Amino acid sequence: MSDHSDEYPEGVVIRDKRRLDPVTGEPRHAAPEPPSEKEEQDIPKADALLLEERTRDLQRVQAEFANYRKRVERDRVALAESAVGGALVGLLPILDDIDRARAHGDLTGAFKAVADQLEAVLGKLGLAGFGEVGDPFDPSIHEAVMHDESSEVSEPTATTVLRRGYMHGDRLLRPAMVGVSDPAGEPEPAPSADEADQPSSDE
């Protein structure tokens, strides 16, 4: 029997399209048709669109997670500051006692050393006192409990400090209690010599 390649001319391809296998009699499954040129072009486009969609999804998830972390950190800082501020408010009466002792000259010796150390620690925690004689009156941080007039001020001024105020960062813990002096009213000008010599209209 001659070789199979001798039966057909070179370059001729024979495809067996019979639906039943001639040897086993079993039905044959048709081989999938190769994709057309157009389908081959559409496949990379579909892959690119899917990749772009997945990239956008990933970027959105990353942005949401970054915003979540910022919000959690902001809430954590706010909670910590609120807790510290609450503790500092409880110490303000002690600072008032220290101020009174200092004003009366009683802040000396070991008491002074302890007071200085306490004030230094509270300062590191962000506590800042305010309220000095001569400060311009600011109703947002000052509580006015006395009012008078003075020719020595040109604007409402704290001329007496009854109790210092305190801030913790940007948060007002307690306003300063002050006495306020307002500028005295402008005095009426004295009459000139010519006006004094003129007779009154009633005469």
- Supply the mean pLDDT for the chain: 82
User: What is the pLDDT at residue 200?
Assistant: 52
For residue range 157-196, what is the model confidence (pLDDT) as tens digits?
A: 999 999 999 999 889 999 999 999 999 875 555 555 555 5
What is the pTM for the complete model shown? 0.58
pLDDT band at 80 (very low <50, low <70, confident <90, very high): confident
Query: Span 54-76, mean pLDDT?
Result: 92
pLDDT beyond 60 at 9: no
Give the C-alpha distances (Å, rounded to integers) separating 33 from 16, 30, 45.
15, 8, 21
Q: Which of 133, 120, 200, 128 is nearest to 162 (CA)?
A: 133
pLDDT band at 41 (very low <50, low <70, confident <90, very high): low
The fold of the 127-186 domain, in CATH, is: Nucleotide Exchange Factor Grpe; Chain A, domain 2 (2.30.22)
